[in-house]
Amino acid sequence: MVIHALGVDPEKAGKGYGRKMVQFAVDTARQHQCKVIRLDVLKGNVPAERLYSGMGFCYLHTLPMFYEDTGWTDFELYEYVL
């Protein structure tokens, strides 16, 4: 399973919404017998990096990727083995 473009409204930040969404993804992946969840996060997005690491995701490596809204930018890749 892949988590793509997870975001929380800045006015709602710090209230646990990101954690709830990630936990929902983990629970859903388990229900569907997925083996791993992968995601990417914009390098330097410290709150997201802390959230994912704190929930058991492991940093794999940094990779430049292209998205329409960011252009070529470094993203950190994370993985959660179920």
pTM of the shown model: 0.88
Task: Write down the domain spans for the chain.
Answer: 2-81
Rounded distance between C-alpha atoms, residue 54 and residue 77, angstroms: 15
Question: So what's the pLDDT on residue 7?
Answer: 87
Return per-residue pLDDT of the chain as tens, 82 residues: 999 888 889 899 889 999 999 999 999 999 999 999 999 999 999 999 999 999 999 999 999 999 898 899 999 999 999 9
- Sign of the alpha-carbon dihedral angle for 54, 59, 14, 19: negative
Fold classification of 2-81 is Aminopeptidase (3.40.630)
